[in-house]
């Protein structure tokens, strides 16, 4: 029997008692509703092949290939393989693979003109310790912002690139490293829930439109300090067979980057966008 259990006051819900391969639309509806409400859901105890994972992922939107071409599955380019090939030929650890996603809280796809709606992972191998993923609600980040920041940021956009102000683009092919910044509202209204959230990624934002460079940097630094609101976090401890999906429109996340390097932490990942009106 389908059960949905909140994992925190604002963020995270656990779904049990379901096989996603057999879900009809009526069975899927409460899972999707819980995802919209809590920003991230985990469906436990799934046994999936790649086609099963992709089919279920398409219920949330349109799957698009991630810009990091080097980690795409050779036969399924829309599928990213996380955690594989993390050692060089000489046995040294590739930090950009091992610590991928662990530099700090971020949202996926802010560098695209149409950002990612969702990111979904399926756990294939889990280390004996560590390797958790942290999530936090940007609805709550917006709620607790000082009014002076809400007023300053209302109607302003940020310029976002893959490498942000640090220029970290090692996972991209050279031809993909110099794209112009994508512009997105810093205060974003969710397309489905209609709630306002802070839309912010300190690792991808270059500047805030309409502010002098120093003021822009100062506000970015302040938002970095304020983006994780009290009681807004959920820390996910992985199990093999977990499907975790989060809403990039209102959530930020980070990997812990703390598991034993000699152990496997392997996931399938897909990036999902909202359907374009008029396109099937």
CATH number at residue 201: 3.60.130.10
- Look at residue 77 in the predicted model and tell me its pLDDT: 94
| Structural domains of the chain, count | 1
Q: Within a domain: residue 266?
A: yes
- Look at residue 26 in the predicted model and tell me its pLDDT: 96
- Look at residue 280 in the predicted model and tell me its pLDDT: 32
- Look at residue 174 in the predicted model and tell me its pLDDT: 59
- Look at residue 178 in the predicted model and tell me its pLDDT: 66
Q: Within a domain: residue 280?
A: no
Q: Within a domain: residue 74?
A: yes
The total of other beta-carbon atoms located within 10 Å of residue 10's CB is: 20
Q: Within a domain: residue 279?
A: no
Phi and psi dihedrals of 238, rounded to 5? -70, 150
- Look at residue 165 in the predicted model and tell me its pLDDT: 61
Q: Within a domain: residue 269?
A: yes
- Look at residue 67 in the predicted model and tell me its pLDDT: 80
- Look at residue 103 in the predicted model and tell me its pLDDT: 84
**Residuewise pLDDT in 10s, the chain (280 residues):** 899 999 999 999 999 999 999 999 999 999 999 999 999 999 999 999 999 999 999 999 999 998 888 889 999 999 999 999 999 999 999 888 888 888 899 999 999 999 999 999 999 999 999 999 999 999 999 999 999 999 999 999 999 987 666 555 544 445 555 678 899 999 999 999 999 999 999 999 999 999 999 999 999 999 999 999 999 999 999 999 999 999 999 999 999 989 999 999 999 999 999 986 533 3
Q: Within a domain: residue 89?
A: yes
- Look at residue 275 in the predicted model and tell me its pLDDT: 84
Give the range of the structural domain holding residue 55, as residue numbers without chain letter. Answer: 3-273
Q: Within a domain: residue 114?
A: yes
Q: Within a domain: residue 58?
A: yes
- Look at residue 100 in the predicted model and tell me its pLDDT: 87
- Look at residue 279 in the predicted model and tell me its pLDDT: 35
């Amino acid at each position: 029997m389908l059960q949905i259990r909140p994992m925190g006051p604002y963020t995270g819900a656990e779904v049990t008692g379901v096989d996603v391969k057999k879900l009809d639309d009526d069975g899927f509806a409460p899972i999707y509703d819980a995802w919209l409400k809590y920003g991230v859901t985990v469906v436990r105890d799934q046994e999936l092949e790649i086609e099963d994972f992709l089919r279920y992922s398409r219920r949330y939107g349109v799957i698009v290939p991630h810009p990091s071409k080097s980690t795409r599955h050779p036969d399924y380019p829309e599928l990213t393989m996380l955690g594989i090939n993390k050692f060089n030929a000489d046995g040294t650890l590739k930090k950009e693979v091992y610590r991928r996603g662990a530099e700090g809280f971020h949202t996926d796809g802010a560098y695209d003109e149409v950002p990612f709606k969702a990111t979904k992972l399926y756990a294939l191998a889990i280390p004996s310790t560590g390797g958790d993923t942290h999530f936090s609600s940007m609805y709550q980040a917006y709620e607790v912002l000082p009014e002076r920041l809400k007023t300053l940021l209302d109607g302003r956009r940020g310029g976002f690139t893959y490498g942000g102000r640090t220029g970290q683009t090692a996972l991209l092919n050279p031809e993909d490293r110099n794209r112009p910044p994508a512009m997105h509202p810093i205060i974003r209204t969710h397309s489905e829930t209609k709630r306002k959230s802070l839309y912010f990624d300190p690792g991808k934002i270059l500047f805030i439109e309409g502010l002098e460079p120093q003021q822009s940097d100062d506000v970015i630094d302040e938002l970095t300090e304020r983006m994780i609101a009290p009681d807004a976090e959920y820390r996910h401890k992985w199990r093999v067979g977990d499907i975790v999906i989060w809403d990039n429109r209102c959530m930020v996340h980070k990997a812990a980057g703390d598991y034993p390097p000699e152990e496997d932490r392997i996931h399938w990942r897909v990036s999902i966008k909202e359907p374009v009106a008029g396109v099937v």
